[in-house]
């Protein structure tokens, strides 16, 4: 008799979802489906809105990565109003954006996706969280991550007004220049951010790469997909987040396309299924072939692993060294092991800190000229950035008054929605046999999802369970600011 298993809701990531697994008469997995049960309709209700409000409206798509939407929207507005921001404005935006990439990536690794990976896939549920991670890396790290996040987000707030839902993006630049005292503080702390990013990579080496069982898990076939990949590259073909062309490669690493943001419609289409509210993007060449991978597939993946796969290298030297080691360890380009995304994420975080230091010391960052006003009426504009979770596309059309008549949004995780669906099914088929199902196995199915979309940097200080904890919070100089203790509960 066939059986249905439901995981509802999926947990420890952003958004809502449920997984339905169907077993056949032999107790093997016949099919599995990841259903996204929510829809808000931004592409519709933004019609009629004023274009310049879009950075502040579309960012409410996601409160974890509002900065990504804010930035993609600002880029779309530049295009819409046919205005190129002054160089200082680009630098300011790029500085802000790299602060964001650093804090978002770091948080995910330690608190959301990381725990599954660092603690172990079938560890008891109570250990699959930050407490388990701290048990591996040491108590002080908890405090250091809080501090690093606080630093980065503090600078972001000073630059953009708010950090949850920033306000400073406008067509042609940003709303205000930087203050000299903020830049001085940033210069003084940027090395600390680099050191922290390097420390995270070291922790990854020690705990994960130093453990053969974990390496085997990374390379396990049921967590791998041979897909196409898409990511943004700069003029030198290096990994970049804010401005560049999109490059697509096939599963063998051959380049399929490279195009500027304006041409995205030539390459990307979206497919609909009746059983989920999310859409499924695909490459127009070869077209929608269903939920399959391999060289004939129309599917592609985005996000850190994809970005490292498509780029010719990282844009900064320290990150570049890790990039080389990454591919050497994992057997060459491209890497198809989904769990390797955790490593790629940390390499990107390191690059972000190097870019932050470079821009903080660039004299032009203090320029008061941070905005160029439009001179022509708005028509149509496309803005693309790389969000932490992948390529983010904003496409607007307006009437001559700048009132929106069309809005198309392809949001980072959505590019991965078909690969995620495949990964869920493949993982379920890989780990569930003979009708045997338990919490650990179901978590291994959920892990396939978590590696793609750790969209939420939340679990930080929520410490489920009753373990004792002593967190030492230090400031950037290493001086103790606060010590918080919680004793173990008895009985």
Per CB under 8 A, contacts with other proteins among 236-265 are 264-265
Q: Which stretch binds other proteins (CB under 8 A): 124-132, 183-191, 304-312, 341-349?
A: 124-132
> Which residue among 122, 127, 175, 367 contacts other proteins (CB under 8 A)?
175
Q: Which stretch binds other proteins (CB under 8 A): 60-68, 215-223, 233-241, 423-431?
A: 60-68
Contact 439, 122 (CB under 8 A): no
Min dist CB 324 to other proteins, Å, is: 34
Q: How far apart are the first and last CA of the chain?
A: 43
Provide φ and ψ at 153, rounded to 5°.
Answer: -70, -30
Please tell me whether residue 401 binds other proteins under the rule CB under 8 A.
yes
User: Cα 202 from chain centroid?
Assistant: 21
Contact 420, 450 (CB under 8 A): no
Encoded one letter per residue, x for contact with other proteins by CB under 8 A and - for no contact, window 347-376 reads: ------------------------x-xx--
Min dist CB 134 to other proteins, Å, is: 13
Min dist CB 62 to other proteins, Å, is: 5
Nearest to 203 by CA among 134, 156, 251: 134
> Which residue among 19, 70, 74, 81 contacts other proteins (CB under 8 A)?
81
By beta-carbon proximity to other proteins, the closer residue of 224 and 392 is 392
Contact 250, 230 (CB under 8 A): no
User: Cα 296 from chain centroid?
Assistant: 27
Min dist CB 461 to other proteins, Å, is: 4
Residue 286: asked if its preceding bond is cis (omega within 30°), the reply is yes
By beta-carbon proximity to other proteins, the closer residue of 172 and 304 is 172
Contact 239, 314 (CB under 8 A): yes
The footprint of other proteins on residues 468-487 (CB under 8 A) is 469, 471, 473, 482, 484, 486
Please tell me whether residue 184 binds other proteins under the rule CB under 8 A.
no
Contact 307, 101 (CB under 8 A): no
Min dist CB 132 to other proteins, Å, is: 13
CA-angle at 230, arms to 224 and 234, nearest 5°:
135
Min dist CB 398 to other proteins, Å, is: 10
By beta-carbon proximity to other proteins, the closer residue of 343 and 456 is 456
Strand, coil or helix: what is 223?
helix
Please tell me whether residue 77 binds other proteins under the rule CB under 8 A.
yes
Q: Which strands sit side by side in the sheet containing 404-410, from one edge to the other? A: 380-387, 390-398, 404-410
Please tell me whether residue 92 binds other proteins under the rule CB under 8 A.
no
Q: Which stretch binds other proteins (CB under 8 A): 12-20, 306-314, 349-357, 430-438?
A: 12-20
Please tell me whether residue 157 binds other proteins under the rule CB under 8 A.
yes
Q: Which residues contact residue 205 at a Cβ distance below 8 angstroms, ignoring those fewer than 6 apart? A: none
Min dist CB 388 to other proteins, Å, is: 13
Q: Which two tokens stand for residue 96?
A: 């802000």
Provide φ and ψ at 247, rounded to 5°.
Answer: -120, 140
> Which residue among 105, 192, 279, 450 contacts other proteins (CB under 8 A)?
279
HSE-up (13 A, CA, CB side) for residue 228: 29
> Which residue among 1, 44, 216, 332 contacts other proteins (CB under 8 A)?
44
Please tell me whether residue 155 binds other proteins under the rule CB under 8 A.
no
By beta-carbon proximity to other proteins, the closer residue of 95 and 311 is 95
* Calpha distance 491→480 (Å, rounded): 33
């Amino acid at each position: 008799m066939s059986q249905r298993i439901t995981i509802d809701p999926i947990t420890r990531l952003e958004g809502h979802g449920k997984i339905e697994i169907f077993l056949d008469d032999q107790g093997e997995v016949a099919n599995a489906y990841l259903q996204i049960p929510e829809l808000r309709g931004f592409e519709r209700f933004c019609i009629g809105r004023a274009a310049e409000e879009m950075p502040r409206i579309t960012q409410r798509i996601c409160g974890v990565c509002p900065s990504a939407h804010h930035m993609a929207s600002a880029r779309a507005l530049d295009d819409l109003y046919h205005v190129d921001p002054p160089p200082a404005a680009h630098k300011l935006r790029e500085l802000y954006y790299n602060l964001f990439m650093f804090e978002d990536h770091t948080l995910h690794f330690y608190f959301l996706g990381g725990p599954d990976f660092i603690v172990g896939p079938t560890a008891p549920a109570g250990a699959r969280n930050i407490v388990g991670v701290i048990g591996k890396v040491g108590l002080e790290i908890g405090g250091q991550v809080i501090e690093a996040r606080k630093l980065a987000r503090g600078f972001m707030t000073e630059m953009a007004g708010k950090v949850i839902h920033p306000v400073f993006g406008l067509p042609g630049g940003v709303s205000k220049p930087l203050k000299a005292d903020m830049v001085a503080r940033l210069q003084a702390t940027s090395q600390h951010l680099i050191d922290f990013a390097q420390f995270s990579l070291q922790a990854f080496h020690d705990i994960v790469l130093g453990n053969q069982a974990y390496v085997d898990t990374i390379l396990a076939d049921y967590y791998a997909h041979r897909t196409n990949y898409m990511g943004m590259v700069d003029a030198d073909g290096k990994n970049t987040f804010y401005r560049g062309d999109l490059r697509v490669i096939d599963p063998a690493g051959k380049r399929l396309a490279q195009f500027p943001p304006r041409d995205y419609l030539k390459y990307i289409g979206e497919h609909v299924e009746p059983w989920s509210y999310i859409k499924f993007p695909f490459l127009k060449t070869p077209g929608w072939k269903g939920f399959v991978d391999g060289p004939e597939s129309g599917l592609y993946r985005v996000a850190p692993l994809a970005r490292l796969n498509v780029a010719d290298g990282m844009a900064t030297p320290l990150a570049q060294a890790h990039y080389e080691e990454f591919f050497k360890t994992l057997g060459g380009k491209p890497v198809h092991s989904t769990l390797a995304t955790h490593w790629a994420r940390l390499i990107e975080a390191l690059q972000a800190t190097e870019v932050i230091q470079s821009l903080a010391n660039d004299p032009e960052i203090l320029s008061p000229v941070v905005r160029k006003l439009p001179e022509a009426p708005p028509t149509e504009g496309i803005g693309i950035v790389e969000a932490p979770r992948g390529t983010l596309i904003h496409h607007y059309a307006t009437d001559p008054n700048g009132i929106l008549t069309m809005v198309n949004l392809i949001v980072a995780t959505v590019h991965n929605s078909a690969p995620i669906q495949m990964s869920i099914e493949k993982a379920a088929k890989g780990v569930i046999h003979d009708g045997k199902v338990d919490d650990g196995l179901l978590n291994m199915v959920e892990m396939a999802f978590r590696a793609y979309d750790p969209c939420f940097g939340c679990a930080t200080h929520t410490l489920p369970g009753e373990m004792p904890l002593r967190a030492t919070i230090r400031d950037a100089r290493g001086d103790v600011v606060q010590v918080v203790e919680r004793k173990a509960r008895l009985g």
